Structure 1
Amino acid sequence: MKEKVQKVRIVKSFWLEFAIATKSMRKDAGLSQAQLGKKLLPKITEEKVSAWESGRTKIPILQFLLICFICGFTSKKS
């Protein structure tokens, strides 16, 4: 049981990292939550983006990758 609880905590922290990264990328790109939502496919409401960024709901992986693309995130080192 203890191992299962630990796994749940790891998964929750993983999703929270996505939430933090999403908010950071959006702000660095100079986009509001509403502007980001309009650029996503399908379009997402400002409320949904807010829920993702706060960690209230999980960001679908494909949407997260699209957010990375929209916000100009790259893994290349300068």
Structure 2
Amino acid sequence: MANKKIEYGMENQNDHTLYRKVTFRQKYIDYDGTVSRKEGTIKKYRNRIIDLSIPEGQTGRVTYSAWKDAE
């Protein structure tokens, strides 16, 4: 792992490719006509893995982990 560099999404919350915060709003109408609203936030992150043994600009140098919940 010495020839790999990992950038963690939880530590780079300003980098949109590694960390996402999405606010959603939902409106519900019940059978009796009552309207209610729900609001929430979803946070996701992923890690960037840089293989330093591959020259810069070549395919496969930078890969990403799968998105994970940040909570």
Using the size of structure 2 for normalisation, the TM-score is 0.20
Using the size of structure 1 for normalisation, the TM-score is 0.19
Q: Tell which structure's C-alpha radius of gyration is larger.
A: 2
- Structure in which a larger fraction of residues adopt strand: 2
- Structure in which a larger fraction of residues adopt helix: 1
